[in-house]
Structure 1
Amino acid sequence: MAIIENWLPPSRDNWETLCYIWQFFPVVTAIQWVLDWYPQGKTSTESRFNIPGKIGWATMESAGFMGLVYIMLTLPQELGIKELPWGNWTMAGCFVIHYLYRAIVSPLFLNPSMSPIHPLVWIFAFAFQICNAISIGGWLAGYGPTTDNDWAGRYWTMEIGLVIWAWGLLGNMFHDDDLREIRRTADRKQRKEAEKQGKSPEGVDKIYMLPKNGLFQYVLYAHYFCEWIEWAGWWMVGGWNCHPARSFLLNEISTMLPRALQGKRWYEKKFGKDKVGSRKAVIPGLV
């Protein structure tokens, strides 16, 4: 049963149209190069319409992997495909693992606190996830490879791609946790002070410090860089002609790069250029 007729799951024509349009998403993100307003995370703003950080993040990020899984389970039946190749499920599994961590485990169980999210950010992120799910899901569920023979002859590139994906994911998790430790340390200190004063501890939504471990010695957004490595490896698994994986990587870079540069300006303003030092925004030694 389709959730949205001809879209979830997508018809062939709709899928091809969306994939064509989706490759031009970087044009949309170009506004971030001239607009510093991004009401989320460390640059969140006060608004009565704000969505609580944890709930907002979990709901907007979950749309991607849930949409992809739904398409993988329904589209093959519509197309008369009895069984999808193992390579398709491998890529889908990698995608789901990443977003289970990013959308569920990280915000709801690991993060001590998260700043509120403006509804506009939520809407755009939710739309990004849905479009990405349709693009990737359609390719994996029947409009891309449909037999094991379609994966034959490139197993070694798939293996290398999976290794790169795994190291990127682990790097992303490591640097995410380094940022969390800043919040956890502040939370422990705040709770200790509250206990001494006999008061209830308050939240730590706006505690920020310069991260220093791992690649944070060289860039301020090491978790972004590791995520790009992760999805570059994932694209390698799918192959050079896997245009949904290519679009996903390029679309992520196009929206996260200006955000990282904006974040570097924020760090320099808050802590001073001397403390930020020679660290780049996101790519060691380059940007």
Structure 2
Amino acid sequence: MAFVQNWLPPTREHWELVCRLWRYFPALSGLQWFISWYGQGKTSTKSRFNIPGKIAWATMEAPGFLTLLYIMFNLPNDLGIKSLPWGNWTMAGCFTFHYIYRALLSPLVLNPSMAPIHPLVWALAFCFQLFNATAIGGWLAGYGPTTDHEWAGQSWRMQIGFIIWAAGLLGNMFHDDDLREIRRAANREQQRKAKESGKPVEKVDKVYVIPKNGLFRYALYAHYFCEWIEWAGFWMIGGWNCSPAKWFLINEISTMLPRAIQGKRWYIKRFGKEKVGSRKAVVPGII
């Protein structure tokens, strides 16, 4: 049953159109090199239109894996495919696992607090997820490999790709948690002061220090770098001809790199060049 006729799940014609448009995304994300405003995270600004951080993050990220799974479970029926290859489901599982962590567990369970997000940022992220999930989901659900034979002889590449994907995911989780610990430590300090003074605990919304553990010793946005490693592994699992996975990685870098460069300037402005030291923005020793 189609959720949106000809689009969700997409016909091959519409899927190819989405994939073509998806390749032009860097032209849009490249505007960040010229615009300093970014209504999210440490650069979030006050606005009556802002969406509470946790709700905004979950609702703009979760549509990605939900869309992919919807396509995976519905498009094969439209194409007369009885079952999809195990390789397709492996990639779908990797994608879904990442976004269950990123879109649901991180904001709703693990993060002590999150800065509000501007509706424009929310809308752009929501569109990113829909385009990306449609491109990857269509490839996995019938417009890419449709038999186990097409995955035959590729187990070595898939295994290496999976190891790279898992290493990137674990690195991303580790560095995410290091950032959370900054907030948790601030919460503990607030509770200690409240207990001593007998006053109610104040809510901790924005607490920023320079992270120093793991790869943060070398790059301020090491969690971005780990995520790029993760999706490079994902692309390797699918093979170098898996165009949707390739463009996912390219579009992530085109979105996150200018954000990291601007973020480094923010750290220098707030803490001073001496405290930032020799840390790069995102790739240790390079960028």
Alignment partner, residue 190 of structure 2? 190
TM-score, scaled relative to structure 1: 0.99
Whole-Å Cα distance in 2 between the matches of residues 8 and 190 of structure 1? 48
Alignment partner, residue 231 of structure 2? 231
Alignment partner, residue 205 of structure 1? 205
Listed as ranges, the gaps of 5+ residues in structure 2 are none
Alignment partner, residue 3 of structure 2? 3
Trace 1:53-64 onto structure 2 (pairs within 5 A): 53-64=53-64
The residue identity in structure 2 corresponding to 1:163 is I
Alignment partner, residue 275 of structure 2? 275
Does residue 98 (structure 1) correspond to residue 98 (structure 2)? The answer is yes
Does residue 139 (structure 1) correspond to residue 139 (structure 2)? The answer is yes
RMSD: 0.6
Alignment partner, residue 175 of structure 2? 175
SS at match of 1:10: coil
Deviation at 1:2, TM superposition (A): 1.2
Whole-Å Cα distance in 2 between the matches of residues 134 and 167 of structure 1? 26
Whole-Å Cα distance in 2 between the matches of residues 264 and 220 of structure 1? 7
Trace 1:91-130 onto structure 2 (pairs within 5 A): 91-130=91-130
SS at match of 2:70: helix
What is the total number of aligned residue pairs between the two structures?
Answer: 287
Structure 1 runs (4+) greater than 6 angstroms displaced: none
Trace 1:32-51 onto structure 2 (pairs within 5 A): 32-51=32-51
Whole-Å Cα distance in 2 between the matches of residues 204 and 254 of structure 1? 32
Whole-Å Cα distance in 1 between the matches of residues 54 and 271 of structure 2? 26
Percent identity, aligned pairs only, is 70
Trace 1:61-72 onto structure 2 (pairs within 5 A): 61-72=61-72
Deviations 1:185-238 (CA, angstroms, capped at 9, x unpaired): 001001111122222212211100000000000000000000000000000000
Alignment partner, residue 163 of structure 1? 163
The residue identity in structure 2 corresponding to 1:254 is S
Whole-Å Cα distance in 2 between the matches of residues 115 and 10 of structure 1? 35
Whole-Å Cα distance in 2 between the matches of residues 148 and 72 of structure 1? 16
Alignment partner, residue 286 of structure 1? 286
Does residue 150 (structure 1) correspond to residue 167 (structure 2)? The answer is no
Whole-Å Cα distance in 2 between the matches of residues 62 and 22 of structure 1? 19
Whole-Å Cα distance in 2 between the matches of residues 238 and 62 of structure 1? 22
Does residue 215 (structure 1) correspond to residue 228 (structure 2)? The answer is no
Whole-Å Cα distance in 2 between the matches of residues 210 and 286 of structure 1? 19
Listed as ranges, the gaps of 5+ residues in structure 1 are none
Alignment partner, residue 261 of structure 1? 261
